[in-house]
Copies of this chain bind each other. A is one copy, B any other.
Amino acid sequence: MEKAPGKREARKEERRLAILDVAKRAFLESGYSAASMSAISAELGGSKGTLWNYFPSKEELFAAVLEHATAAYRQQLNDLLAPSADLWTTVVTFCRSFITKITSPEAVRLHRLIAAEAGRFPELGEIFYRRAPEPTLRILAEFFAGQMAAGHMRADDPAVAARALACLCMGGLHQRVIWGIAEPTVDAVESETHAAADVFAHAYDIGRAGGA
């Protein structure tokens, strides 16, 4: 089905990506209402006609931007679970990576934007959820199911365990960063990581390496 690219299509795709990139910055920075098509077009450098040629309205550009951004977000969340020697280390490592990702400036802006517009663009929350939190929870749940079966942690509903760990990672520092009252410094991430992992380990009878 894939034909030889052809310079036409190649340039079009490249341009499309450039537009999405500029528009993404604009929307993440200012929100939907405050971002301006004219400004996006100006930063792109071409004419406004061209922009409307690619995306026939502000809403459709916005939808495309979110589609693209959440896809990239998902990509980043896929490889967070890296099994280590022991379960405790795996959990700590996951928490650290996960908290680091979700408190990164771009992730925070994306989160804000989605929360802000979820009321007026109902599909928006769904495409985000299907792409980021849901797969992450699924991977976690599958992993915990195996660990429970192997007797490395208390047996219970693995989906509940997955949600619990995700909650513990998202509720504290992440929330405060979103509210703009905390910075995701390395120290803050580390402290949050250990608090989350600690509570989780106690809840599911996970032994700490070194026997603390």
1/0 contact string of A112-123 vs chain B (CB within 8 Å): 111111111010
Contact with B along A15-50 (1 / 0, CB 8 A): 000000000000001111110000000000000000
Partner of A200, one of B120, B133, B203: B203
Residue with the highest number of chain B CB atoms closer than 10 Å, among A112, A115, A166: A115
Stretch at the interface among A51-59, A87-95, A142-150, A168-176: A168-176
What B residues does A196 contact at CB under 8 A?
164, 167
Residues A178 and B109 in contact, CB atoms below 8 Å apart: no
The answer, among B119, B120, B164, B175, for a CB contact under 8 Å with A195, is: B164
Q: Number of contact residues on A: which range applies? A: 35 or more
Q: Does A71 belong to the interface (CB within 8 Å)?
A: no
A166→B140 CA distance, assembly (Å): 21
- With A125-B180, A126-B181, A180-B122 known as contacts, the answer to whether A160 contacts B199 (CB < 8 A) is yes
Q: How far is the CA of A167 from the CA of B167 in the complex (A)?
A: 6
Complex Cα spacing A120 to B115, Å: 15
Complex partner residue of A118 from B32, B112, B164, CB under 8 angstroms: B112
How many protomers of this protein does the assembly include?
A: 2
Known: A115-B111, A180-B125. Is A160-B198 also a contact (CB below 8 A)?
yes
- A152 CB within 8 Å of chain B: no
Closest approach, in angstroms, between the C-beta of A177 and any C-beta of chain B?
Answer: 9
B interface footprint on A178-193 (CB within 8 Å = 1, 0 otherwise): 1111000000000000
Does A163 belong to the interface (CB within 8 Å)?
yes
Cβ-neighbour of A115 out of B29, B170, B179 (below 8 A): B179
Please tell me if the beta carbons of A129 and B181 are within 8 angstroms of each other in the complex: yes
A154 at the interface (CB under 8 A from B): yes
Residues of B close to A200: CB separation below 8 A: 203
Within 8 A of B (CB), among A130-160: 133, 154, 160
